[in-house]
Amino acid sequence: MKQDIIICRDIKKAYGTGETEVVVLKGITFSIKEGEFVAIMGPSGSGKSTLMHILGALDTPTSGEYFLDGKDVAKLSDEELADIRREKIGFVFQAFNLLPRTSVLRNVALPLVYANMPKAEREKIAEKALDDAAFPKAFWSYHSNQISGGMMQRVAIARSLVNNPALILADEPTGNLDSRTGEVVLHTFQSLNMQQGKTIVLITHEPYVAEHADRIIHIRDGNIVSDEKNAHKRVARNEKDIAI
Average pLDDT of the chain, as a whole number: 92
Helices (H), the chain: 48-55, 78-87, 104-113, 119-132, 149-161, 179-196, 207-210
Nearest Cα to Cα of residue 133 among 198, 75, 85: 198
| pLDDT for res 92 | 94
Please compute the mean of the pLDDT values over residues 72-77 and round it to a whole number: 91
| Domain residue extents for the chain | 34-63+78-229
| pLDDT for res 242 | 53
Please compute the mean of the pLDDT values over residues 183-189 and round it to a whole number: 93
Kindly report the CATH class assigned to 34-63+78-229: alpha beta
Distance CA 60, CA 65 (A): 9
User: Is 97:156 a contact under the CB 8 Å cutoff?
Assistant: yes
| pLDDT for res 106 | 95
